[in-house]
Amino acid sequence: MHSKISWGKNYTKHKMTDFSIAVVGCGKWGMNHVKTACKLFGDKLKYCIDSADKEKAVKDISGSIIFSEDISKVIEDADVKGVIVSTPAETHFEITKKLLNAGKHVLVEKPITLKSEEAVILNDLAISKRLILMVGHLLLYHPAVLKIKELLDEGRLGKLQYIYSNRLNLGTVRTEENILWSFAPHDISVIQFLTGDIPEKVNATGSVFLTKNIQDTTLTVMKFKNNIHAHIYVSWLHPFKEQRLVIIGDKSMIVFEDSLKDNKLKFYPKGIEMVNGIPVKRDEDFINIEFDSTSPLELEQKHFAECITQKKTPRSDGKNAIEVLETLERAQKELIKI
């Protein structure tokens, strides 16, 4: 369906859109957006915006990208329809508002904003201008997460009982936002996606070691309708990387370990059944589950482009972003108490 265009020595790119795309913010994560957009959209990735020290890294990816420190270049170019914003969270509101007001569709990184009132303003603005507002809840585009959702919906796990997510690393320590805001948006978005619901109750505790008032470790506990429970443990003070999602149903269980090299998704036909009032264990070997190996970021950007061309509502739209942000805020309020 997509025409192939050749690009330099090492790249073959797929031209997906007739309009141009821009990336604002070319830091650690933003450069992944630049590389992916370059692969997907070829020379339709027209602009990258950041401070001058990022120009070389961008130009090394593609010499045809126009690099600028000035976002008005993007705003004034009618050929640019979609903009990816990957700047620090505290800048998302102003930059996204400016872009939406200029008539651009926006894919903004998580968390959409730092306050749900601001996310509501952005969502209302996008709706009133009939523009796409999508948030980078990457895991909602992960083929393994989509596979888990499919298995749940087919009833292969039975009744959903418990979900937990560990997102741990000796990682990028932020001093302007805590670990909850940095890591947990992903886990909240996945848990709310899998349960198809928002939690009735949210509790959270956290520990501060490095920067005053900035939690390095948090544990968030959530209770959903129908006796479904979940917890999220996130830390950037951990000896090794672990991204582990465990889903317990009353028939079977699934473990997704994205931090493993292979065999990331395992199905466990295990459980406890009450037989005549006695708990009886069913304990069979796990089965590896295959899933599409396309990068989630590629699928996320593709989804953004398709939503623009086909006027579709993104899976991680403004409403979804607000629901995740509200859960973050509820957890944050609990953190302040201790």
Ligand X SMILES: NC(=O)c1ccc[n+]([C@@H]2O[C@H](COP(=O)([O-])OP(=O)(O)OC[C@H]3O[C@@H](n4cnc5c(N)ncnc54)[C@H](O)[C@@H]3O)[C@@H](O)[C@H]2O)c1
Q: Which residues bind ligand X (CB under 6 A)?
A: 24-30, 49-51, 54, 86-89, 91, 95, 109-110, 136, 138
| Amino acid at site 251 | K
Closest distance between ligand X and the C-beta of residue 129, in Å? 21
Tell me the C-alpha to C-alpha distance, in Å, between residue 206 and each of 5, 95, 324, 337: 50, 30, 19, 10
Tell me the C-alpha to C-alpha distance, in Å, between residue 24 and each of 85, 99, 168: 5, 10, 28
Identify which of residues 156 and 315 has a Cβ nearer to ligand X in the complex: 315
- In angstroms, rounded to a whole number, what is the distance separating the alpha carbons of residues 109 and 239? 27
- In angstroms, rounded to a whole number, what is the distance separating the alpha carbons of residues 52 and 218? 36
Closest distance between ligand X and the C-beta of residue 283, in Å? 35
- In angstroms, rounded to a whole number, what is the distance separating the alpha carbons of residues 315 and 162? 23
Closest distance between ligand X and the C-beta of residue 174, in Å? 8
Identify which of residues 83 and 222 has a Cβ nearer to ligand X in the complex: 83
Identify which of residues 44 and 54 has a Cβ nearer to ligand X in the complex: 54
Among all residues, whose Cβ is closest to ligand X? 27
- What's the full length of the chain, in residues? 338
Residue identified by tokens 């640019």 is 80
Identify which of residues 211 and 288 has a Cβ nearer to ligand X in the complex: 211
- In angstroms, rounded to a whole number, what is the distance separating the alpha carbons of residues 246 and 61? 37
- In angstroms, rounded to a whole number, what is the distance separating the alpha carbons of residues 314 and 127? 12
Identify which of residues 89 and 325 has a Cβ nearer to ligand X in the complex: 89
Residue pair 63/12 in contact (Cβ under 8 Å)? The answer is no
Identify which of residues 14 and 73 has a Cβ nearer to ligand X in the complex: 73
Q: What is the DSSP letter of 214?
A: B
Identify which of residues 95 and 151 has a Cβ nearer to ligand X in the complex: 95
Closest distance between ligand X and the C-beta of residue 111, in Å? 7
What is the token pair recorded at 157?
């796990």
Closest distance between ligand X and the C-beta of residue 236, in Å? 12
Short-list 110, 101, 105, CA closest to 72: 101
- In angstroms, rounded to a whole number, what is the distance separating the alpha carbons of residues 192 and 335? 20
Tell me the C-alpha to C-alpha distance, in Å, between residue 150 and each of 153, 155, 217, 324: 5, 9, 31, 21
Identify which of residues 16 and 135 has a Cβ nearer to ligand X in the complex: 135
Closest distance between ligand X and the C-beta of residue 315, in Å? 14
Closest distance between ligand X and the C-beta of residue 88, in Å? 5
Closest distance between ligand X and the C-beta of residue 261, in Å? 19
- In angstroms, rounded to a whole number, what is the distance separating the alpha carbons of residues 22 and 47? 5
Identify which of residues 160 and 303 has a Cβ nearer to ligand X in the complex: 303
Closest distance between ligand X and the C-beta of residue 264, in Å? 16
Q: Which residues make Cβ contacts (< 8 Å) with residue 132, sequence separation at least 6?
A: 82, 105, 106, 107, 126, 304, 307, 308, 314, 317
